[in-house]
Chains A and B, each alone.
Chain A
Amino acid sequence: MEKTWNNRAWFLVLPVLLLVAFSAIIPLMTVVNYSVQDTFGNNVFFWAGLDWFQELLHSPRFWQALARNLVFSGIILAIEVPLGILIALNMPKAGWGVPVCLVLMALPLLIPWNVVGMIWQVFGRVDIGLLGKTLSLLGVDYNYVQDPVDAWITIIVMDVWHWTSLVVLLCYAGLVSIPDAYYQAAKIDGASGWSVFRYIQLPKMHRVLLIAVLLRFMDSFMIYTEPFVITGGGPGNETTFLSIDLVKMAVGQFDLGPAAAMSLVYFLIVMLVSWVFYTVMTNYGQES
């Protein structure tokens, strides 16, 4: 077939190119620009080459923050995915309970991040918080401001409270799309409850679970607002995740070069891990 060239067609693509340029490419290039230069303000720049990247990759501060992020995301996935599946399996499939459950599940998702942070910050306070005060009255030694373990537990419980609903809703959508005939066939075969889950429900939820894991990984890996509001990265640096460290460096210390280098590395890690997740899980889906 003969191709016809029409250069005017480029005009139709132009708005999208401009939009993407201003929203993504130009800001990203600015960051790239900062990451290879040094500045003391006043628009005076010195060429720094890859120095900032070298410094970053040799700094224990960066590796510690990265390790915290990975551990945090791992814990979040290990709790929220099984818990989400469990709740979705036990939600009603028909009747008045469905809208009630769906609204209850959607509520935490509607609350802004910083508000969630504030809620738990107050909720957990030992002097006035419902949770903190109750626990200390019961004799439990709980104080997220001083104890790193308590701080981690608070942030994890808060994230589970905030985001398990997302996994639940996705899984529930997968579950209700299973035709009733599957359950009837399994019943006639005499399949056990576990078999029904393993061979019907799990395979049918596979696709939405992939999306849920991906979303929860990316989101938990980029967590910022909640620990910033609750602990501010403390006690010490115990809850200083990459994003918090980044903001400290850029805004607190005004080290724009190192912060830019860190942003790029952070960005690449998120991209890479998400890509690996996606590839592995879609391949797994095709095999089975």
Chain B
Amino acid sequence: MLELRNITKLAGAETHISDVSLKLERGTLNVLLGPTLSGKTSLMRLMAGLDKPNSGTLHFDGVDVTGVAPQKRDIAMVFQQFINYPTMTVYENIASPMRVAGADRKTIDDAVQRAANLMKLTPYLQRMPLNLSGGQQQRCALARAIVKNAGLVLLDEPLANLDYKLREELRAELPRIFAEAGTIFVYATTEPSEALLLGGNTATLSAGRVTQFGKTIDVFRKPNDLVTARTFSDPPLNTIVMRKSGNNLSLDGGMAFPVPAHLGDVPDGIYTVGFQPHHLSLSPAGAAPVSIRARVIAMEITGSESFVHLSYADVRWVMLTPGIRKFETDETVEVFLDPQLLMVFDGQGRSVTNHAPLAA
């Protein structure tokens, strides 16, 4: 188990990581999700021992490893760039961590063949990494991480520079490969969809803080606060500021509807209401759908879905709807929202619908 206790990392006057506490169990997959500069890489560097925290401690299986050098920590790391030794063959690259560790030839050969087989690199073992495609280069780097058989495997956006198909393929395989070894698997990504596909646990990061940590699906469905909800939504979370008074939730001069049951005991006041793009629909759904007339700003069509950018009461929303739709710009459309799905946040951005404490 890897445990981070109140880790803070400053770089000059800037705070890169601010009071982060996490517990990562053996044999689990943990996603660090956050936008660029949210501190994912900084946190990984701290976990790897490449950087020393300014305060706080790191414990591995109960042992304090805060000041221990990275090579003594039983870790493997894969980076967004394809990092291989350019003058060594693929075979030698994969073998390099074991050579440093001083393993014998037979052990090295077995491990390299096994890792190459897993990463489909067997035909390329005698080639130079720079003569391979990007995907093969990254698989070579991944194979290096596999042979190390480390207790902690850190993957820093490893698939970001790969093409779509290969990314899907590797994303499905990676957790399986590393789960077999019972390692702690940490995976940094900027994409909410990638976190959902990987499953496991997710820690959402924003401005150097872990805003929430828990099972990926729970963090996605029940974010503790607005920041987490925004981090974990792509396309961006739709929000609107509304007033609750008595049994009514209303927008000044706009829509109004009865307060849904799950918000019954919330005190009156101003709240930020949020919902996912796929919660807007063109046909009524749920028990008491609210009808909203919004103006179309733009359309984006993927193969099987349409993103409709809408303007309603001076805020912009995105609706994700199945099938290919055609709307004219400035056309007014009627869309529906199920109030049961609303996430409601108070003035400090805390969720009033989900009071689960932040996992330590």
Question: Which of A182, A187, A200, A204 contacts B71 (CB under 8 A)?
Answer: A187
Question: Which of B70, B76, B81, B141 contacts A187 (CB under 8 A)?
Answer: B70
Is the pair A188, B83 in contact by a Cβ cutoff of 8 Å?
Answer: no
CA–CA, A181 and B155, complex, Å:
12
A128 close to chain B: CB less than 8 A:
no
Interface string of A202-215 (1 = CB under 8 A from B): 11100000000000
Is the pair B86, A188 in contact by a Cβ cutoff of 8 Å?
Answer: no
Is the pair B81, A181 in contact by a Cβ cutoff of 8 Å?
Answer: yes
A185 close to chain B: CB less than 8 A:
yes
Which residues of the other chain, B, contact A200 by a CB distance below 8 angstroms?
Answer: 85-86
Is the pair B79, A187 in contact by a Cβ cutoff of 8 Å?
Answer: no
Judged by DSSP, the binding face of B is: mixed
Interface string of A80-114 (1 = CB under 8 A from B): 00000000000000000000000000000000000
The bracket for how many chain A residues form the interface is: 10 to 19
Is the pair A288, B87 in contact by a Cβ cutoff of 8 Å?
Answer: yes
Tell whether A188 pairs with B76 under 8 Å between CB atoms, given A179-B81, A199-B85.
yes
Within 8 A of A (CB), among B55-110: 69-72, 75-77, 79-81, 83, 85-88, 96-97, 100-101
Please give me the residue from chain A that is nearest to B156 by CB atom: A181
Judged by DSSP, the binding face of A is: helix
A189 close to chain B: CB less than 8 A:
yes
Which residues of the other chain, A, contact B282 by a CB distance below 8 angstroms?
Answer: none
CA–CA, A254 and B211, complex, Å:
86
Quote the shortest CB–CB distance from B155 to chain A (angstroms). Answer: 13
Is the pair B83, A189 in contact by a Cβ cutoff of 8 Å?
Answer: no
Interface string of A182-195 (1 = CB under 8 A from B): 10110111110000
CA–CA, A202 and B101, complex, Å:
23
Quote the shortest CB–CB distance from B184 to chain A (angstroms). Answer: 15
Tell whether A288 pairs with B128 under 8 Å between CB atoms, given A188-B76, A199-B88.
yes
Please give me the residue from chain A that is nearest to B93 by CB atom: A199
Tell whether A190 pairs with B85 under 8 Å between CB atoms, given A184-B48, A184-B79, A288-B128.
no
Is the pair B50, A187 in contact by a Cβ cutoff of 8 Å?
Answer: yes
Quote the shortest CB–CB distance from B52 to chain A (angstroms). Answer: 13
Is the pair B83, A181 in contact by a Cβ cutoff of 8 Å?
Answer: yes
Is the pair A188, B85 in contact by a Cβ cutoff of 8 Å?
Answer: no
Please give me the residue from chain B that is nearest to A190 by CB atom: B71
Interface residue ranges, A against B (CB under 8 Å) = 179, 181-182, 184-185, 187-191, 199-200, 202-204, 288
Q: Mind listing 25 A-B residue pairs with CB under 8 Å?
A: A179-B83, A181-B80, A181-B81, A182-B83, A184-B48, A184-B50, A184-B70, A185-B77, A185-B79, A185-B83, A188-B48, A188-B71, A188-B76, A188-B77, A189-B96, A189-B97, A190-B71, A190-B101, A199-B87, A200-B85, A200-B86, A203-B85, A203-B87, A204-B86, A288-B87
**Additional A-B contacts beyond A182-B83, A203-B87 (10; CB < 8 A):** A179-B81, A181-B83, A185-B79, A187-B71, A188-B75, A189-B100, A190-B70, A191-B100, A199-B87, A200-B85
